[in-house]
Every structure is written in C-alpha cells, then in structure tokens.
Amino acid sequence: MVEYNVRLDNSTILVTGAAGFIGSYLVKRLFQQYDGIRIIGIDSVTDYYDVQLKEHRLKEIGEMNCDWTFVRGSIAQKSLIDQLFAEHHPSVVVNLAAQAGVRYSITNPASYIESNLIGFYNILEACRHNPVEHLIYASSSSVYGSNTKIPYSTDDHVDNPVSLYAATKKSNELMAHAYSKLYNIPSTGLRFFTVYGPAGRPDMAYFGFTNKLRHGDTIEIYNYGNCQRDFTYVDDIVEGVVRVMCHAPERHTGSDGLPLPPYKVYNIGNSRPENLLDFVTILQEELIRAKVLPSDYDFESHKRLIAMQPGDVPVTFADTTPLEQDFGFKPSTPLRTGLRAFAQWYARYYGTAE
C-alpha cells in the first residue's frame, strides 16, 4: 500500500469535463467526503449527446451549496486554461474532459484532435507553469486496441490502436510521461473500462438500448453477440479516482541529474467481463422491474445480431492488480446491481414508471 501524500481537505481542485458522467459524480463525491474543499469545474457542454442531461448534472452539483465555481468553456482554449490556473491556483487537477466515443471518432476526427490532444497539451502546459501536487487524467481501455492477451495489464505494449479515439488516449499517456520527465510533474493516468450507471452517457450501449427499446425500435448487437465487456459501475470508478488523487507518484532524481518521471498508469475495471447477450438479458429484466418497459415486452422481435463494427474489439478485461496492491481497492459492483440502479434512475428521470 502506498502512503497518501496529497491532502484534499481545504484544497483547490480543478476538474475538467465536470458536466460529464464521471466528472459530475466525482465533484459530488469530493464535496461529500472532504471539508473545506474548493472545486473549479470546466466543461464546454457540447451537443455530442443530450445537453439537458449535462445541465441536470450541473444543477445537482449547484444544489449542494458548496464552494463550487463552474466555467463554461473548452480546454482547447489555451488563454482560458491559463487564466483559470493563474486565478485559482489548483493544487490537484483531474482532467476528464475529452471527446468520447470510438465510432464517432471515425466520422468526426477533428473534434478528437482539438479536445483530446490540444486540450490536454494546454492542461500540461498550465501544470508546467503553475506547479501542482498531482495531475490525474482519464485514459481508456481502448488503448489496448488489438491486443489478444487478456486480462489487459498496464505492463502490456499498447502500440496497436484500432480507432483515433484510442490513439489520442495513448498519446495522452505519452505526453504526460514526457512532461513528468522534463518538468517533474506528478501525473497518473487511469484506463477506464466501460463505465456505466445512472445519468450516464446516452451513446453507451446500455443507455442507447434502453432508449430504443422504450420507443419500440430494434437494438443491434455487434459481433453477433460474441463480445465481452468489463462493465465498471461509476461509483467504483469514482472511488478509484479519489484514492489515486491522494497519492502523487514520488519525485526522484535520476543518474543523469534529471527527474525520474513521477508517473503512473492504472487500470480501473471490474475484472469480470460479461457476455453482451447476458448483459442485454439482465438489462431487459431490470427495465421491466423498474417499469420502464411492460412485463410482456417482446424482446426477441427487437433484437438484431450484426457483424463487428470498425474500431470495436471483441473483449475488454482489466488486470487491476497494481490498483489493489497500491490502494487496496478493487471494483466489485455486480452488473445486476449497477443496471438496477440505472433502470430506477431512468424511470424517475424520464417519468416512465408513472
């Protein structure tokens, strides 16, 4: 176990992507857990998916009556990022802002370059000129690309991305390593595995399937159902992020007189891949239980098995041993528990159970 060397009580934290799924959960968790904490959130609130859902998340944070400042803007705007750092002097930065989605990166590559590369560069430069105790940033299980060895380990080579999204996330890790080496910036990358839960992203399978089923549309199951995903509940993701925030990689000097990069990367996944067809079965059962769908819903007529799509991989499976060894934590929320929470939230948010 590592020793915590970053104190979050009475600290100022910058969270990018604060209106996003993981970002909003993280902000609420930090306010609930730590005293005197001050959080600066930034998000461009794009229309990649339903803006009202993002506004709903922000409204929940605003109702907490905490020391919360929200800035509506893009991390790709360097002058804005420089201004935020100069004005607020964050001690910890959590970069969750990114253009997400594997398939979207095939049709809209420019948005990934702007947010995931230029935006992250701006964050690194700001940390360089305004020293921080710890930079934590979101990577992705997508960096494992076409690797066939499972479970995926952070010791594996990840040089075979199968989407531009994955390539940008791998680039983030390389950029962070270089800045850690050159400027002694403690940084930790977190490879998230298929995050799901209430108020999540509508472009994710469980949310998209629910919307389609509710409207009587047909859901498409890729690779003829022969896919496995390491579904990770959002509370487990946030628990891992918060623990990692509290320990910045140690600074040391190498034999060349330059800093040894204070740099780490961890997987955060459930370490238990679920077959996509089993996932759909559990989802439909929980949607019926939450009264999102009627008990006599004909699922078979609303399912279609199709081939693998470009950018997809057949299996994701996290080796979380380093996370367990260093932080004593392993995500463990069962899929049914997580999907039940999502279905209940969906029923409340959209009023389907009334």
**pLDDT tens per residue across span 283-311:** 999 999 999 999 999 998 999 888 877 76
Quote the pLDDT of residue 327: 98
- The predicted-structure confidence for 184-201, as pLDDT tens digits, reads as follows 999 999 999 999 999 999
Does position 354 have pLDDT exceeding 60, yes or no?
Answer: no
Residue 178 in this model has a pLDDT that exceeds 60 = yes
Higher pLDDT, 312 or 266: 266
Tens-digit pLDDT profile for residues 51-64: 999 999 999 999 99
Residue 27's pLDDT band (cuts 50, 70, 90)? very high
Q: Give pairs for 160-164: CB < 8 Å, separation 24+.
A: 162/310, 162/311, 162/312, 162/313, 163/102, 163/105, 163/106, 163/310, 163/311, 164/105, 164/106, 164/109, 164/112
Q: Give the pLDDT score at 346.
A: 97
Which alpha helices (DSSP H) does 203-334 contain, by range? Answer: 205-214, 234-245, 276-289, 321-327
Question: How many other C-beta atoms lie within 10 A of the C-beta of residue 249?
Answer: 18
Tell how many helices (H) and how many strands (E) occur in the chain.
Answer: 12, 15
Rounded to whole angstroms, how far apart are CA atoms 162 and 127?
30
Domain 12-196+232-271+317-331 -> CATH class: alpha beta
Which of 25, 112, 144, 165 is flagged as catalytic?
165
Given a cut of 70, whether residue 83 has pLDDT beyond it is: yes
Three-state secondary-structure class, residue 73: coil
Tokens of 15: 């969270």
Contact 305, 224 (CB under 8 A): yes
The answer to whether 89 and 130 are in contact (CB under 8 A) is yes
pLDDT at 306: 84
Domain ranges of the chain: 12-196+232-271+317-331
Residue 91 has pLDDT above 90, yes or no: yes
* Predicted pLDDT at 287: 97
110 exposure class (CB count in 10 Å sphere: 0-12, 13-18, 19+): exposed
Mean pLDDT of the chain: 94
The full DSSP string for 111-125 is: HHIIIIIIIHHHHHH
Q: Which amino acid is located at 352 in the chain? A: T
The residues near 314 (Cβ < 8 Å, ≥ 6 apart) are: 223, 226, 227, 228, 308
Residue 124 to residue 93: CA distance in whole angstroms: 10
The pLDDT of residue 127 is 98
Q: What is d(CA 44, CA 73) in angstroms, rounded to the nearest whole number?
A: 4
* Residue 151: cis peptide before it, omega within 30 degrees of 0: yes
Q: Give mean pLDDT, residues 18-42.
A: 98
Backbone phi, psi, residue 139, to 5°:
-105, -150
CB-CB contact of 280 with 222 (8 Å): no
Angle between helices 234-245 and 21-33 (to 10 degrees): 60
Region 113-130 average pLDDT: 98
Question: Which one, of 235, 336, 226, 233, lies nearest residue 284 by Cα?
Answer: 336
Question: Is 165 among the catalytic positions?
Answer: yes
pLDDT of residue 172: 98
Per-residue pLDDT tens digits for 204-249:
999 999 999 999 999 988 877 788 889 999 999 999 999 999 999 9
Percent of the chain with pLDDT over 90: 81
Task: Inform me whether the pLDDT recorded for 169 exceeds 90.
Answer: yes
